[in-house]
Amino acid sequence: MATAAAPRVYKNFINGEWVDSRSGNAYENRNPANADELIGMFVSSNAEDVDLAVDAAKLAYQKWRLVPAPKRAEILFRAAELLVQHKEQFSKDMTSEMGKVLAETRGDVQEAIDMTYYMAGEGRRLFGQTTPSELPDKFAMSVRQSIGTCGLITPWNFPMAIPSWKIMPALISGNTVVLKPAEDTPLSSYNLVQILTDAGVPEGVVNLVSGNGPNAGAPLAEHLDVPVVSFTGSTAVGRLIAEACAPEFKHCSLEMGGKNIIIVMEDANLDLAVDGAIWGGFGTTGQRCTAASRIAVHKSVYHDFISRFVARVKKLRVGDGLDPGIDMGPCINEQQLKTVMDYVQIGQTEGAKLLTGGHCLTEGPYAKGWFHEPTVFGDCNPKMRVAQEEIFGPVVSLIPIGRLEEAVEVANGVPYGLSASIYTRNVNRAFQAIRDLFTGIVYVNAPTIGAETHLPFGGTKKTGNGHREAAIAAIDFYTEWKTLYIDYSDKLQRAQIDNAE
Ligand code: UN1
């Protein structure tokens, strides 16, 4: 009898080599659209593996920090070009392990390309300030300095983009990294690390340990030789990371939950608003921190909006993201599907009106995946759990609103503050909303998703801890300022003291 070929085992990348885990264990990475498809085995790392990776990164840091930033940049430029060459294959790999449709995984790889080019460009900037001293014959300036080894813990919903948001600014600033990618989507990180290596990143500068949070992520966040930790994921895990970082006063950047809103005013272009709500609500199966999970619609256009929106939602084709013509893929795993189903139940119990969807899909082409219908709740009270809590799935809650002030109060009345959007043709209202929405990102006449890599990304309240990713903000996180005073007067000059006396 013929036996199937043994699945490929993907190893850790430590000190420039692909190596087994000390645990001797590996876990399965399966396609969320088809559980029969085994993508590969990935090693289950433990604290010993993390120690080895951190040791390698610590050693490599001594040389890497001295490589001139424009030379570090040349490697990143090469990596960006290699990513361009491999974009199609990496996108297909990503759809297979994560489920989102090919157009979106192409976007994810493109976001990594954009970030890599952008941060490579920073290699010839990394600007500090040069400013007059208050004293004569004295020179004052500030420069950025690298910090050391960065522990990067990344989520499954943007399996290449988000690792690149962390790796590229860390590297261009002169740090070394240990990446612990999400358990569900390690192949995309494997691909990214392979590209960086092919582009010429020296051994030990980029290390990867696959595995789960408690066994691999926690020892990385706690490690005494890791002064910088960046995490994207749930608010609950973010709190654990912050606690792990606190005793050592580590740089700690957290990007966590969202409960983002689209506000549709009575003067909005309704067709445009419906387009935005479909893309914001159901893109990536709603599994984005930036997903539009609430839509507040002015009462005078509420029914018109509902009928157009629900008609469009009903037409969304759910299936395997690699099949052309599919609009929405599966949930990432069984647990996430169960969370979605629980929230559908909660919404109904709370009295929200189920306008379409509401079921998981289990028959025919859906039998082997974690599929759920795109689901819309109408007439939601803003205090309902489905309108307050992050679901991270294809569920949108519609909330009727009156004046803009009320819409802003609803928008701000959640524990999170990542992204918000308003559809209006009234410039005064648009600017009022820009001023009053307390979120890290505001869109006008565009949905809540679609952040670009050269602008700060992050949110207020329980979405973050005051840091931003992407843009120069990321460089600020991965560097320390060093302020320089050079006195060429040849005498003691005392700042703040009256020197004329
Ligand atoms: C995320 O949801 O975790 O703006 C990141 C966007 C994407 C990034 C999303 N560029 O939706």
Q: Single out the catalytic residue among 104, 183, 255, 469.
A: 255
383: left (phi over 0), alpha (psi -120 to 50) or beta: alpha
Q: What's the pTM value of the predicted model, to 2 decimals?
A: 0.97
CA–centroid distance, residue 468 to ligand 1 (Å): 13
Q: Which atom of ligand 1 is nearest to the CA of 287?
A: 2
- pLDDT on residue 4: 65
Element holding 38 (H helix, E strand):
strand 34-43
Are 187 and 211 a contacting pair, CB within 8 Å? no
Q: Are 43 and 25 a contacting pair, CB within 8 Å? A: yes
Rounded Cα distance between 287 and 37, Å, is 22
Lowest-pLDDT range, 6-10, 312-316, 383-387?
6-10
From 289, 391, 452, give the residue whose CB has the most ligand 1 atoms within 8 Å, as the site to mutate: 289
Residue 152 has what pLDDT? 99
Q: Which residues line ligand 1 (CB under 6 A)?
A: 111, 157-158, 288-290, 449-451
- Residue of the nearest CA to atom 8 in ligand 1? 451
Position 1 pLDDT exceeds 60: no
pLDDT of 5 reads 77
- Domains of the chain (ranges; CATH) run 9-256+464-483 (3.40.605.10), 261-444 (3.40.309.10)
> How does pLDDT run across 150-177, given as a tens digit for each residue?
999 999 999 999 999 999 999 999 999 9
Whether 385 has a pLDDT exceeding 60, the answer reads yes
> Residues 466-493: pLDDT tens digits?
999 999 999 999 999 999 999 999 999 9
- The whole-number pLDDT of residue 6 equals 85
How far apart are alpha carbons 225 and 471 in whole angstroms?
26
Pick the more confident residue, 5 or 445. 445
Active-site annotation holder among 289, 331, 373, 469: 289
Percent of the chain with pLDDT over 70: 99
| Mean pLDDT along residues 322-336 | 97
255 is catalytic: yes
How many angstroms is it from 101 CA to the middle of ligand 1? 15
Q: How confident is the model at residue 499 (pLDDT cuts 50, 70, 90)?
A: low
Mutate to test the pocket of ligand 1, among 449, 455, 468 (most ligand atoms within 8 A of CB): 449
Query: Which of ligand 1's atoms lies nearest the C-alpha of 451?
Result: 4
CA 443 to ligand 1 centroid distance, Å? 13
> Does 2 score more than 90 pLDDT?
no
Three-state DSSP at 241 gives: helix
First to last CA, the chain: 99
Give residue 231 CA to ligand 1 midpoint distance, Å.
14
Which residues, at least 6 apart from 82, have a Cβ–Cβ distance to it below 8 Å?
Answer: 195, 198, 199
111, 158, 235: which to mutate for ligand 1, most atoms within 8 A of CB?
A: 158
Which residue carries 């085994």 as its tokens? 38
pLDDT of residue 501 exceeding 70, the answer is no
Q: How many CB atoms lie within 10 A of CB 260?
A: 32
pLDDT digits (tens, 9 = 90+) for 34-68: 999 999 999 999 999 999 999 999 999 999 999 99
- Please give the Cα distance from 196 to 397 (Å, whole number): 41
Q: What is the mean pLDDT of residues 382-403?
A: 98
Q: What is the pLDDT of residue 349?
A: 98
> What does R_g of the chain's alpha carbons equal in angstroms?
24
Residue 347, CA distances (Å) to 284, 350, 371, 397, 417 in order = 21, 5, 19, 9, 22
Measured CA to CA in angstroms, residue 362 lies from 101, 318, 331, 359, 392 at distances of 19, 12, 13, 9, 20
Task: Please give the C-alpha separations between residue 353 and each of 276, 344, 364, 377, 399, in angstroms, as whole numbers.
Answer: 22, 11, 28, 5, 11
Q: What pairing do the DSSP bridges indicate for beta strands 375-378 and 395-401?
A: parallel
Query: Does the pLDDT at position 24 exceed 70?
Result: yes
> What confidence score (pLDDT) does residue 460 get?
98
Across 121-147, average pLDDT: 98
Work out the pLDDT band at 81, boundaries 50, 70, 90: very high
309 pLDDT exceeds 70?
yes
Mean pLDDT, rounded, of the chain: 97
The average pLDDT across 131-137 equals 97
In the reported structure, the alpha carbon of residue 429 is separated from the centroid of ligand 1 by a whole-number distance in angstroms of 26
